[in-house]
Chain A
Amino acid sequence: MLLRPAPDDFRAIGSALGRVISVVAVFALLPAGWALYRREWEALSGIVLMIGIALLIAALLDRLERPRAELSWSQGMVVVATAWLVVPALGSIPLALSAHTASWLDAFFEAMSGITTTGLSLIHDLDHLPESLNLWRHTLQFLGGQGIVLAALTFFAGSGILSLFHGEAHDERIFPSVTSTARFIWRVAVVHAVIGVSALGLEARWGLGFRADRSVFHALTVFMTAFDTGGFAPQSTSLGYYHSAAFEITATVLMVAGALSFGLHHALWTSRERRARRRRLGVEAEPPILRNLEVRTILTSFAVLTVATLGGLAATGVYTDLRGLTRRGMFQLFAAHTNAGFTTIPAAELEQWGGMAFIAIAVAMALGGMASSTAGGITSLRVGLTMKAITDSIREAILPDRAVISTHFHQTTSQRLTPHLAQSVMAISLLYVGLFFLGAAAGVAYGHPFGVALFDSIGAGSNAGLTIGMVTPDMPIPLKVIMLTQMYVGRLEFVAAFALIGFLIAWRVGK
């Protein structure tokens, strides 16, 4: 029997939601400051209005009497799922007021694409969008990549926050405390920000000859969407605008850093020290990172897809010189596999790729980066575990009955692939495949070729954001809504979204 949510449930959810919403106001100060500096008064008024509404909602929700009991698992999931709807709704306000979007739905699509780190855009005339609004789009992606709720957790510790943490697709606690883990995730971002913005800024200033403030703007925006594998770019031609190999390499390093799990960052940052300490204590050195199932999976998939992409491109003859083939092919593969979705070529050129290269890029987007990273997609851990579960089943079938099959895998520590874990991993992977085909079917229904529809659908569902023509401002409204849903559900990895649906059903029909 479904139990109807009690007033205490609403109070607990509302109270936590208010804290999350207040984060929007904090982050919006960055574009607001830029609007002041650039004297973009219309854009500033939209941003200030959004800050005001966010603070008002947060203040009203803060007045709710907070129940003494901890936030339950399902309440936490509902908070996460609702926050990921409310924040883009708020974030769309300045975009909707800018006249660079055709409707509120387009502005919401843009904000959802931003916050889910997808990178699909419905903005009209992006090259003339006020810089502060452009910065806001990128800030949304940065916030979404880091995790909106995670940002709130960094500032506000409290009871029952574990469900919030997991609800936002952060599966791995690096430290025993969620707050410490959240702070470490921010520390990784800040360190990469200092180095990334400096490198990109210097390249823009001295390599490309940009003005100092323009260099800062481009470095900051590209850093935010590269590290958080978002894919928005300040110009309509994406990173192709810069025609700079140095810029592309720097962005690639940032994309790869973003696609690595934060647990792996922690291992990279501490492994040498830990090994040295263990050696001093006479304990055997810990296994290297390369033993991790997820690292092995992503390296294998990357190697296979490199061969498929470059081999396919060479076969179709799109690029006949070594430089063009390597630079274009590798950058696009990195952008797809890390789920960033930048391009250095026009969509029409990408569509021409055809054959194996085209399929490889689509598969790379679907696979995505690592779990507990800023990237989306099925994620390497799920792919690795699915492959292990399948090979274990085959071994079980062909080996003698008495044979003992190891069900262990290495992921930071040695872990067991239980039937329950295998089942849940496969279920989520299957849901992703279903999500991709749902969008493709909708695209085909609206007259797009199957290849184009599937490619763009994978781009939305995996939050990679590459498109070859289906996503345009004049796209039919139902298709926009389907892609919005794909972005939202794909980013939350289904669980929190399902919890929200369950909560709403219980509210309507529960007793």
Chain B
Amino acid sequence: MKQRLRQALMALEGIAIETAWVVAACLFGLVVAMISLALV
């Protein structure tokens, strides 16, 4: 049971990391968009 709970927590952590990557990519996109709009 304890092992399963630990596995579930690690899976959740994995999905949280994936979400963080997407958010980081979107923030990077936001910065690129700001620079692009400023340049044109």
Contacts and interface: CB of A to CB of B under 8 A. Distances in A.
Contact of A310 (B10, B15, B21, B33): B33
Contact of A195 (B15, B21, B30, B37): B15
Interface string B8-40: 101111110111011001101110111011011
Contacts of B26: 249, 326, 330
Contact of A192 (B6, B15, B21, B40): B15
A253 to B, nearest CB: 5
Contact of B37 (A249, A252, A303, A322): A322
Interface of A: 191-192, 195, 249, 252-253, 256-257, 260, 265, 268-270, 272-273, 302-303, 306-307, 310-311, 313-315, 317, 320, 322, 325-326, 329-330, 333-334
B17 to A, nearest CB: 6
A273 B15 contact: no
A253 B15 CA distance: 8
Contacts of B29: 306, 310, 326, 329-330, 333
Contact of B36 (A303, A325, A334): A325
Contacts of B36: 310-311, 313-315, 325
A302 B25 contact: yes
B15 A191 contact: yes
A325 B15 contact: no
B16 to A, nearest CB: 10
A249 B7 CA distance: 25
Contact of B18 (A256, A303, A322, A333): A256
B26 to A, nearest CB: 6
Contacts of A265: 14
Contact residues of B: prevailing secondary structure: helix
A272 B12 CA distance: 13
B31 to A, nearest CB: 9
- Among all A-B residue pairs, the 9 with the closest Cβ atoms: A314-B36, A268-B14, A330-B29, A326-B33, A191-B11, A325-B33, A311-B36, A269-B14, A310-B32
Nearest to A313: B36
Contacts of A272: 10, 13
Nearest to A254: B18
Contacts of B28: 303, 306
A302 B24 CA distance: 12
A270 B8 CA distance: 11
Given A256-B22, A314-B37, A329-B29, 20 more contacts: A191-B8, A191-B11, A253-B15, A253-B19, A265-B14, A268-B13, A268-B14, A269-B7, A269-B10, A269-B14, A272-B10, A272-B13, A303-B28, A306-B25, A310-B36, A314-B40, A315-B36, A326-B29, A326-B33, A330-B29
A184 to B, nearest CB: 11
Given A195-B15, A272-B10, A322 B40 contact: no
Contacts of A260: 18
Interface of B: 6-8, 10-15, 17-19, 21-22, 25-26, 28-30, 32-34, 36-37, 39-40
Nearest to B15: A195
A195 B29 CA distance: 26
A273 B40 CA distance: 48
Contacts of A326: 26, 29-30, 33
A456 to B, nearest CB: 25
A458 B28 CA distance: 27
Given A326-B26, A326-B33, A315 B11 contact: no
A493 to B, nearest CB: 25
A507 B13 CA distance: 52
Contacts of A257: 15, 18
Q: By CB atoms of chain B within 10 A, which of A265, A268, A273 has the most?
A: A268
A330 B25 contact: yes
Nearest to B30: A326
Nearest to B32: A310
A256 B10 contact: no
B15 A314 contact: no
A270 B32 contact: no
Nearest to A190: B11
B3 to A, nearest CB: 11
Given A256-B22, A260-B18, A329 B10 contact: no
Contact of A307 (B6, B32, B37): B32
Given A195-B15, A268-B14, A268-B17, A252 B33 contact: no
Interface centre among B6, B13, B29 (most CB of A within 10 A): B29
A334 B29 CA distance: 11
B9 to A, nearest CB: 10
